[in-house]
Amino acid sequence: MNVARPDEVRRFNRASLLRTLHVSGPATRATLATELGLNRSTIKMLVDGLAGDGVVQERVPRVPQGAGRPSLLVLPQPQSVVVLAVDVQVEHAGIALVGLGGQILGRNSWNLRGRQRDPDEVVTHVAESAALLAQDLDLHPVAAGISVPGVVRRTDGLVHSAANLGWDEVPFGERMGTVLGVPVVVGNDAEFGALAEYVRGVGRGASDAVFVSADVGVGGGIIAQGALLRGSAGYLGEIGHMTVHPTGRTCHCGNVGCWETEVGEPALRRALGLAASGPRGAIAAELRELHRDSDPVARLGEYVDWLILGLVNVVNILGPELVVLGDLFAILPDAVVQRAREEVQRRSMVARAHGGLRIEKSSLGPDLKLLGAAEAAFEDVLSTV
Site of interaction with a second copy (CB under 8 A): 1-4, 9, 12-13, 36-38, 42, 151, 153, 160-161, 206-208, 220, 224-225, 227, 229-239, 241-247, 253-255, 309, 312-322, 346-350, 352-356
* Separation of alpha carbons 318 and 224, rounded Å: 9
113 to each of 132, 165, 318, how far by Cα in Å?
22, 10, 37
Nearest distance, CB of residue 319 and a second copy, angstroms:
2
CA 69 to centroid of chain Cα atoms: 40
By beta-carbon proximity to a second copy, the closer residue of 321 and 367 is: 321
8 A C-beta contact, residue 241 and residue 250: no
By beta-carbon proximity to a second copy, the closer residue of 129 and 188 is: 188
By beta-carbon proximity to a second copy, the closer residue of 249 and 291 is: 249
DSSP, collapsed to helix, strand or coil, labels residue 57 as strand
Calculated CA dihedral for residues 296, 298, 303, 306, nearest 10 degrees: 120
Strand-pairing partners, residue 75, are 57
By beta-carbon proximity to a second copy, the closer residue of 23 and 182 is: 23
Nearest distance, CB of residue 60 and a second copy, angstroms:
27
8 A C-beta contact, residue 189 and residue 215: yes
Residue 96: what are its φ and ψ, rounded to 5°? -150, 150
Nearest distance, CB of residue 33 and a second copy, angstroms:
11
Question: Can you spell out the DSSP letters for 176-193?
Answer: HHHHH-S-EEEEEHHHHH
Nearest distance, CB of residue 199 and a second copy, angstroms:
18
By beta-carbon proximity to a second copy, the closer residue of 268 and 351 is: 351
* Separation of alpha carbons 143 and 374, rounded Å: 9
Nearest distance, CB of residue 246 and a second copy, angstroms:
6
HEC per residue, 263-320? HCHHHHHHHHCCCCCCCHHHHHHHHHHHHCCCCHHHHHCHHHHHHHHHHHHHHHHHCC
By beta-carbon proximity to a second copy, the closer residue of 167 and 180 is: 167
8 A C-beta contact, residue 295 and residue 191: no
Nearest distance, CB of residue 238 and a second copy, angstroms:
5
8 A C-beta contact, residue 129 and residue 145: no
By beta-carbon proximity to a second copy, the closer residue of 114 and 254 is: 254
By beta-carbon proximity to a second copy, the closer residue of 330 and 357 is: 357
Nearest distance, CB of residue 116 and a second copy, angstroms:
25
Nearest distance, CB of residue 232 and a second copy, angstroms:
3
